[in-house]
Amino acid sequence: MKKIKIITVFGTRPEIIKLSPVISLLDECSDHILVHTGQHYSYNLDRLFFEEMHLRNPDHQLNVGSGTPAYQVGTIMMKVEEILLKERPDLVLVQGDTNSTLAGALAAVKSGIPLGHIESGYRSGNLQMAEEINRIITDRLSRYLFVGTQEGMENLHREGVEGKMFLVGNTAIDALRKNETLADEKVLVQHSLTSDGYILVTVHRAENTEEKNLSSIVNSLNKLAEMTTVVFPIHPRTRKMIETFQLSLSAKITVIESTGYLEFISLMKNAAFIMTDSGGIQEESVELNVPCLILRNETETMDLVNAGKTILTTTDKDRIFSIASSLLESKEKREEIKNRPFSGKSGVAQKIVEILLRELTS
């Protein structure tokens, strides 16, 4: 029997992490073609993620690089279309909410090829966010929607989305559970860090690299650095905008380059708490049972906020510092968050692959 042919399109490091368990399974049971758009800046760091995830090299490396959203989406669409017209797959698979996600989705549908979307149904309610636009359009275009949460299912039904929906959970949990025991703790020794003795911070979203929000976050971090160790693996765009706006990070903040996935797991699991604007890290923090402050005005993971496992700070500097300092000074508050029940689904990648095989061969 001829194997089904699936093309998976991705372009950022979070996508590599979340797709890794799916890629491994699809490689075993399908004619599986990997297309890496090169949306993220660092090829070498991407290569490290592939090695840590034990993934093979992509079949196509598009090397699109940075640029405006229109440039990225348009260029990726044209390059992916060429591959689709040559390969004529049974399905194009995309993940999440990036420009690579949207471009892959548009190229598939314009080429008459069914689309599958992993991480469907997430909504922040903010249409000013590029990611929100990407999510909504990709869900509308998808034939198969792999939904992370019950709230996501409700969002899709409310919007009248017509594709087949499957409530499966989030593949980030599969990736984390597979790799947690391999976490590389050399990074703790390298930066003289102790368990529960520091705050871990990540900032990368476009709205948080605008001057007002970035200034609020930097102001809060500088004040927190007077109280404890603050570890800040800095995103290239964030570093650039801090310099552009002539903001000053305290010398007491431990600024490090972006790390590999296994090192980052170690940084997460040993932190007193995490401050982030990343959607994926919100979910990973809950799986690791580490309190997480969300440096945004809204989030697509309100199920975690409502369960009391994460806290939405907004981007107001006084509110960020008030919540973070209160959590830092009270181990009891941190333990209270940890003790609240919440468990992510496991075996998500296996469910997705089984559904695809059934749907594409029936």
Q: pLDDT digit string (tens) for 87-110?
A: 999 999 999 999 999 999 999 999
Judge if 157 and 244 occupy the same domain: no
Single pTM value for the model = 0.93
Judge if 149 and 218 occupy the same domain: no
Q: Is residue 84 part of a domain?
A: yes
Q: Is residue 118 part of a domain?
A: yes
The pLDDT assigned to 303 comes to 93
Give residue-wise pLDDT tens across range 205-234.
989 999 999 999 999 999 999 999 999 999
Judge if 234 and 276 occupy the same domain: yes
The answer on pLDDT for 44 being more than 70 is: no
Instruction: State the average pLDDT over residues 11-37.
Output: 96
Torsion of CA 189, 191, 192, 194, to 10 degrees: -80
Judge if 354 and 243 occupy the same domain: no
DSSP code of residue 11 = -
Say which range, 4-18, 33-47, 186-200, has the weakest mean pLDDT.
33-47
Judge if 106 and 188 occupy the same domain: no
Residues 252, 173: Cα–Cα separation, whole Å? 33
Judge if 147 and 201 occupy the same domain: no
DSSP code of residue 299 = -
Give residue-wise pLDDT tens across range 280-336.
999 999 999 999 999 999 999 999 999 999 999 999 999 999 999 999 999 999 999
The pLDDT assigned to 64 comes to 92
Q: Is residue 175 part of a domain?
A: no
The answer on pLDDT for 247 being more than 90 is: yes
Count of CB atoms situated within 10 Å of the CB of 29: 14
pLDDT > 90: what percent of the chain?
89
Instruction: State the average pLDDT over residues 106-117.
Output: 98
Judge if 193 and 159 occupy the same domain: no
Q: Is residue 176 part of a domain?
A: no
Q: Is residue 158 part of a domain?
A: yes
The pLDDT assigned to 43 comes to 64
The pLDDT assigned to 41 comes to 62
Q: Is residue 333 part of a domain?
A: yes
Q: How confident is the model at residue 345 (pLDDT cuts 50, 70, 90)?
A: confident
The pLDDT assigned to 184 comes to 84
CATH, residue 191: 3.40.50.2000
In three-state secondary structure terms, 278 is coil
The answer on pLDDT for 121 being more than 80 is: yes
In three-state secondary structure terms, 234 is strand
Residues 138, 135: Cα–Cα separation, whole Å? 5
Judge if 106 and 228 occupy the same domain: no
Give residue-wise pLDDT tens across range 320-342.
999 999 999 999 999 999 999 88
Looking at the structure of the chain, the number of domains it has is 2
Mean per-residue pLDDT of the chain: 95
Greatest CA span in the chain, whole angstroms? 65
pLDDT > 70: what percent of the chain?
99
Q: Kindly state the helix (H) or strand (E) to which residue 91 belongs, with its residue range.
A: strand 91-95
Judge if 166 and 91 occupy the same domain: yes
Judge if 27 and 157 occupy the same domain: yes
Judge if 166 and 303 occupy the same domain: no
Residues 170, 344: Cα–Cα separation, whole Å? 8
The answer on pLDDT for 115 being more than 80 is: yes
Name the residue range of residue 18's domain: 5-170+345-361
Judge if 14 and 131 occupy the same domain: yes
Q: Which residues participate in catalysis according to the annotation?
A: 204
Q: Is residue 213 part of a domain?
A: yes
Count of CB atoms situated within 10 Å of the CB of 90: 18
Q: How confident is the model at residue 1 (pLDDT cuts 50, 70, 90)?
A: low
Main-chain dihedrals φ then ψ at residue 249, nearest 5 degrees: -85, 135
The pLDDT assigned to 80 comes to 99
Q: Is residue 307 part of a domain?
A: yes
The pLDDT assigned to 237 comes to 86
Could you tell me which residues come within 8 angstroms of residue 88 by beta carbon, excluding any fewer than 6 positions away? 5, 113
Q: How confident is the model at residue 235 (pLDDT cuts 50, 70, 90)?
A: confident
Sort residue 75 into left (φ over 0), alpha (ψ -120 to 50) or beta: alpha
**Residue 147 · residue 153 · CB < 8 Å:** yes
